[in-house]
Amino acid sequence: MDYRKSWRLERLCIFIGGILAVTAALFHAALFLCAGSMVTVAGVLQSVVFCRCPACRAFLDPRGGLPNYCPDCGKPLADAKSEK
């Protein structure tokens, strides 16, 4: 999985986890809270594994959006992909 897919998947998991948490709060359903927590944690964990610079494998902190350049090697992320 490339870093962009990983980033999108993390955002989606956090969004779904949030919806499940709100549902749990509205209906007093602990099962929804557990499911929401698991979806959110799974999304964050996969981003730790897959949201990395394609050139140097440095972790790209997905908070606040993806950077245009790798914070470690400085290569543009769009170009770094083709230099594997």
Quote the least distance from Cβ 11 to Zn ion, whole Å. Answer: 21
Would you tell me how many other CB atoms lie within 10 Å of the CB of residue 61?
Answer: 12
Using CB under 5 A as the binding rule, whether residue 53 contacts Zn ion is answered as yes
Using CB under 5 A as the binding rule, whether residue 39 contacts Zn ion is answered as no
Using CB under 5 A as the binding rule, whether residue 55 contacts Zn ion is answered as yes
Please, is 13 exposed, middle or buried when counting C-beta atoms within 10 Å of its C-beta (0-12, 13-18, 19+)?
A: buried
Would you tell me how many other CB atoms lie within 10 Å of the CB of residue 9?
Answer: 17
- The amino acid sitting at 56 is C
Using CB under 5 A as the binding rule, whether residue 73 contacts Zn ion is answered as yes
Using CB under 5 A as the binding rule, whether residue 60 contacts Zn ion is answered as no
Query: Binding residue for Zn ion (CB under 5 A) from 9, 11, 72, 81?
Result: 72
Using CB under 5 A as the binding rule, whether residue 56 contacts Zn ion is answered as yes
Phi, psi of 59 (to 5 degrees): -70, 130
Binding residues for Zn ion, per CB under 5 A? 53, 55-56, 58, 70, 72-73
